[in-house]
Amino acid sequence: MSCFLIILAVAASFAPSQRSAAGIAHALEARYQHARTLKAIFFERYSDGTGGMAAESGTVYFSRPGRMRWEYESPEDKLFLVDGTNVWFYVPVDRTASRAKLKRSSDWRTPLALLTEKANLSELCQSLQVLDPASARGWDKPLSNDDTLLKCVPKGADAASYMVFEVDPEGRLSRVVIHESGNVETEFRFGNWEENIVIPEIKFHFQPPPGVSIVDEQSLADEIR
C-alpha cells in the first residue's frame, strides 16, 4: 500500500472552502518549517475492513532530516525506526528485525518523516477540502468540535483512498485518519507535542542487540521472484 502523510496547522475559524484549504496548507508550511525536532505521545488503531481491529500506543520522535522513532509501549514493546536511509521494524520478543530501504517502504508511518522536511501539501494532494465537523462520519468525526478537519486526496490514489487531518485551535495536529480501499482504516492520535527539544542522536540509529537476526526485505523479495 502507498500513502502520504504530513502535519498541518491552522486556526479553527477558517470557512470550509477551497480558498481556506489553501490557507491551511500555507499555515502548515509556516508553522513547522523551523521545527528541528518533535516529540509526542501517540495512540494508533487499525481496522482491516472485515471486523479485525488492533490498537497500540507509545511515544514518537522526529528529527530533521526525515528521521523518526516510534517506541511502542502497549500492548507490547516494539520499535519502528527511520534513520534517513533505512526503515527498521523490531519486535524484541521475536528476536528479529526487518530492514527496508526508505523509498521501498510502504508503511503508513514512513511519509510522516515529512514532518521534519519541507512541507508542501500541493505536491502530495490532488485535492484539499475543509470538512464540516458536524457532517463527518465514522472515524472522521473530530475529537473536539473546536478542531479543524482537512481532507486530502493523495495524487495517484484510488477513488476510495483519502486522509483526514484534525488540528486543534492552537494549530497542533491532534489526529490523522487514513482510508484505503476495502474499508481499511488507520488512525493516529497525537498529544503532548514538544518542539525543538534535545533528542539524543542514538535515538535515530538502530543497533541490533546480540542474537537478533536481520531480515532484509528487498533480498527476501528477490528470492521469492
Strand 86-91, strand 96-101: pairing = antiparallel
Grid coordinates of 32: 513547522
Q: Cα(167)–Cα(146) distance, rounded to whole angstroms?
A: 9
Q: Report pLDDT for 42.
A: 96
> What CATH number was assigned to the domain covering residues 18-224?
2.50.20.10
What CA–CA distances, in Å, run from 225 to 217, 219, 221? 13, 10, 7
Q: Report pLDDT for 116.
A: 65
- Domain residue limits, the chain: 18-224
Q: Report pLDDT for 17.
A: 44
Q: Report pLDDT for 203.
A: 96
Q: Report pLDDT for 214.
A: 92
Q: Report pLDDT for 97.
A: 95
Q: Report pLDDT for 6.
A: 37
Q: Classify the phi-psi angles of 218: left when phi > 0, otherwise alpha if psi is within -120 to 50, otherwise beta.
A: alpha
Block means of pLDDT (10 residues each) for the chain, 225 residues, are: 37 44 71 83 95 96 90 96 92 93 66 64 82 87 88 83 83 86 93 94 93 78 41
- Which has the closest alpha carbon to 8: 132, 163, 137, 159? 163
SS3 132: coil
Place of cell 482510508: 179
What CA–CA distances, in Å, run from 88 to 101, 193, 205, 208? 9, 24, 10, 10
What CA–CA distances, in Å, run from 95 to 37, 214, 216? 30, 9, 14
